[in-house]
Structures are given as C-alpha cells and as structure tokens.
Amino acid sequence: MRKAFAVCKLAAILMAAASTSLAAALALGAPVVGSQNITGNRTTAQYTDSGNTYGPYGWNYSYTRGFNGTQFYKDIEVKFNFDDGVFNNDAVVQAAWVQSAITGIQGIWDNKWAIKDNQTGLLYPIIVEITTAGPFNQTVQVHASTGSDPDDPNPAGNDADRSDMTSWYTGNTGPTNAHEVGHMMGLFDEYMGGAVNQYPNPLLSNDGLMGLGALNANPVMYQRYYQQFADYANTVNDPGNTAGYSLQAVPEPSTLLLLAASGACVAVFRRTRRTAA
C-alpha cells in the first residue's frame, strides 16, 4: 500500500507540474476558437491499369472544422437511412447500430495525431465527430449484409456488399466505415481501381486506411490524412505565435505513463475507501 501511495504522490507531483506548465503556455496564446464550414468536390478521371478500366469517379465532401478551446475537430452530420426490413425495422436496434458504427469510426480516427503548438510545445487532440442531428452533410443508405465480403475494395470483384461513401452494409467493420468517412472529408483512395489521385502515378498504400489497410483491424493512420487539420490550425493561428502549428503522432509515452499512474491512484483510493467503510 505504501508503494501504491508513493506512486500516487509522484503522479500528483507530475500532474501539478504539468498544470503549471499548461497555465504558463496558455498565457503565451492559443489557437483561435471558431469553426468553418467546408464544401468541395473530388474527381478521378477514367483510367485503365493492367487491362482493367476504372471510373470515372466523383463525389462531394462537406463538413465543419474548428477548434473548441481544447481540441481540433471535424464534424460530419450524417443522416442514416435503412432499407426496409433491416433489423426488422426496429428503430431501437437501428439506432444502436448507428451508435456502434460511430464508435468504430471514432476509434480509428481519434487521437492518432495531435496539433503541436510549435511555440509552447502544447499538444491539442484531433478528433472526428459523426453527428446525426442535422442539417446533414451526407446521407448514408444502410443495407442488410448478404454474406459477401463488405470490405473487399476491389471494384472488379463481384461482391454484392461492397460499400461506397453513401452506401453501407450492416456487416461493415470499423475500418471500412472509417475509410468511407475519409472520402467525406475529401480524401482519395490509395488502391488501384479506386478513386485515386494523379493517375498514372497515384499515391498507393498497402497498410493505410485509405488504401488496402482498410481490410485490417488496425490500419495505419498516416500523417497525410490529418494534414488539413494542421493547415486549418495555421489559418487561425494566434497572431502572437510566430512558430505556427504542426502535426505530431500521439500518444506520447510520458503522457501514457502519467495517465496510467493517475488511473492506478484512483483504483487505490477507491479500494481504500471501501476498506475503511
């Protein structure tokens, strides 16, 4: 028990020091709180590769991006419509599916990269929010899975359950849905046969979310997927910050250590209170 409380004491000291540093850093300025509505379109001309012809592709993207004082975010309002008969038209089950899908998407996108204030060293989390209150940026039609692989990204395949940005299946995995959300934010595909950029020399990825990595449980979240966040941070930069903002991968080992120590302390104190009671 003494060792546990010693760990807690160290965590408290570290947290106090971090709080002091945070207050001092904030005194130097912070990103400007606000938001912007972003709309645009992407196109991929028809192309032929290895004897197969793909495209043309085109889609509109729309979202709100902003900084709320503690984190940078993109918010996409999505209206989910279900085919007749999906989940027996049970609205409660359908709502639960939507929430599960959103949780899976955010688990892929959130807190993989952070915005670093190059002047203070502070890190601001990056998150992607999927909300359903409206007005809507996108409408997704949800179909019942038929048993075909819903995650096969090969347009030349015959899988009936192949998803696209606005057509999803109940059997989709989190990475598949997160991939489609990437399109909603204006990202191109990174696999041959998809809506690639700059053919005949497109950017391809075997492990990234916008490439074949969408087939994996833990796709690589490349820095380029978050570049728009850094660009936005620098457009709303505090005038007193001459160093600007950049992207940094997270989590930091020291942050994980601090959080783990803090979590251990909470558990210790809870056990102590129960014992005393």
pLDDT digits (tens, 9 = 90+) for 115-134: 999 999 999 999 999 999 99
Q: How far apart are the C-alpha atoms of 42 and 57, rounded to whole Å?
A: 8
User: Following CA atoms 153, 105, 187, 184 in sequence, which dihedral angle do they give, to the nearest 10 degrees?
Assistant: 100
Which range, of 154-163, 179-188, 194-203, 218-227, averages the lowest pLDDT? 154-163
In a domain, 52, yes or no: yes
In a domain, 258, yes or no: no
Q: Residue 225: which of 213, 212, 209 has the closest Cα? A: 209
In a domain, 277, yes or no: no
Angle (CA) 239 242 248, round 5°: 110
- Residue 141 φ then ψ, to 5°: -95, 125
For residue 164, is pLDDT > 90?
Answer: yes
Distance of CA 146 to the CA centre of its chain: 28
In a domain, 121, yes or no: yes
In a domain, 55, yes or no: yes
Summarize the confidence of residues 36-45 as an average pLDDT. 97
For residue 25, is pLDDT > 50?
Answer: no
% of the chain surpassing 90 pLDDT:
69
In a domain, 14, yes or no: no
The predicted model scores a pTM of: 0.80
Q: What is the pLDDT of residue 149?
A: 54
Q: What's the pLDDT band for 196 if we cut at 50, 70, 90? A: very high
Beta bridge partners of 59: 42
The total number of structural domains that make up the chain: 1
Instruction: Tell me which residue range forms the domain holding 227.
Output: 31-252
In a domain, 212, yes or no: yes
In a domain, 22, yes or no: no
